[in-house]
Chains A and B, each alone.
Chain A
Amino acid sequence: MKVLVKFFVFDLPPGFADAELELPEGSVVKDVLDACLDLLEQRNVTMDVNELKTATVMVNNKWSDADDPVADGDTVSIIRPMDGG
């Protein structure tokens, strides 16, 4: 199955595009994040693993936890927390 991943407010290189990831059936949000790490490595992007793995995730605009399932055609939004003021 395929899911579309969108990265929000991560310090990624300009032009880093949303990504369509191929995942096995039965995958959960945690699997998407693992696949994202592989994707970042393929694109030679360095990122703190914890920064990605502790980010806020929404699947089709609904808050989601690491164990929540994803399905073919889902859009997974990954939002980096920020707390500065």
Chain B
Amino acid sequence: MNGRYSRNMPALSAEECAVLGQKHVCVVGCGGLGGFLIEILARIGVGAMTVVDGDVFDVTNLNRQLLCEETLLGTKKAEAAAARVSKINSDVKIKAVTEFLTMENGSQLLEDCDLVIDALDNIDSRRILAAVCAKKDLFLVHGAIGGWFAQITVVAPGSGVLDKLYPPKAQVPNKGNPSFTPAVCASIQATEAVKLLCGKPSTLLDKLLLIDLRTLEFTKINL
């Protein structure tokens, strides 16, 4: 569609927009983070996306998950994501995977991907994703939220960063998930994804961005 990406520019060059159109991103998780990520990446013009989630929408998702609508309760999240992308940008090749990531299916799910985005909601699955990315030599854009807080980092294949971020006995109390937190976290994850896809240096490679939305403190820690 003519002019679709004109407002990407000059923040992104025409060449960078063309590069994005050739890239394939896998978004693992189509909930709070995933919904915003998929929307942003479809609109900016990533060429292809594989979206992975074995879950269905329930009423507790309505407060924050962009893809969740009252009429979609009970619908598979990955299928809803694919339908949304088709409405936003029919140029995006979208593949919906309605199963959860496992060590067994991981390699196949990430086949032909250029970049992987962690939009998961539990530590065990995140560890599996990092292991599969290491095996496939893929960079991973990690994001996680809890209450008024978020964290984002870019994980080089095999760096072991997620194992450090999540010690074996880590306790993660429920802090709730208000609607604004996934939006902030996903936007920054998408920003880093676009940089990586365009061949720009990632600001968060080997760095952890910690966000406190109560105080609006953004802290970058060298890893």
Q: Which residues of A does B touch, CB under 8 Å?
A: 8-9, 11, 14, 48, 50-51, 54-56, 58, 61, 63, 77, 79-85
Contact = CB atoms under 8 A, between A and B. Distances in A.
A82 B145 contact: yes
A34 B150 CA distance: 26
Contacts of A79: 165, 208, 210, 221
Interface residues of B, number: 44
B108 interface: no
B126 interface: yes
Contacts of A63: 164, 223
Nearest to B120: A85
Interface of B: 29, 31-34, 118-123, 126, 143-151, 164-167, 169-173, 175, 177, 181-182, 208, 210-212, 214-215, 219, 221-223
- Nearest 7 CB-CB pairs, A to B? A82-B146, A85-B121, A9-B149, A81-B170, A84-B145, A50-B171, A85-B33
A56 to B, nearest CB: 6
A84 B185 CA distance: 11
B150 A82 contact: yes
Contacts, number: 93
Contact of B212 (A9, A54, A84): A9
Given A48-B171, A55-B167, A56-B165, 11 more contacts: A8-B212, A9-B210, A61-B222, A77-B221, A81-B166, A82-B172, A82-B175, A83-B166, A85-B31, A85-B33, A85-B144
A56 B167 contact: yes
Contacts of A14: 214-215
Nearest to B212: A9
